[in-house]
Amino acid sequence: MPDPAEIRDGDIVQVHRVELYFARVERAGARDLVIQPLDPRIGDRRVRVEEVRRVYRDVGAPGAAPARLLPSPRQLRFEDVDEPRPPR
């Protein structure tokens, strides 16, 4: 059973009541969910979190990585080894 905090509005969930079916979460509560089944023949509109078997979430397209990652001067400095520089 997924953690209730992991289910958010807009997620697709797999619900197991009499049979398995998929639904879109309209509103996620602490103990129950208001759903819209993807199959219009299913009449369920509210399910308990315990009846959810899997949660699917769209995380979007991956972002492009920078062409080359360069460390900052602060990352290159060893604070324990380098002597502090006097201000100029």
More confident: 86 or 20: 20
- How far from 67 is each of 5, 49, 51, 80, CA to CA, in Å? 36, 43, 45, 31
Q: What is the pLDDT of residues 19-34, one digit of tens each?
A: 999 999 999 988 999 9
Rounded to an integer, the average pLDDT of 7-24 is 94
Are 10 and 30 in contact, with CB atoms under 8 Å apart? no
pLDDT digits (tens, 9 = 90+) for 44-58: 999 999 999 999 988
Q: 3-class DSSP state for residue 5?
A: helix
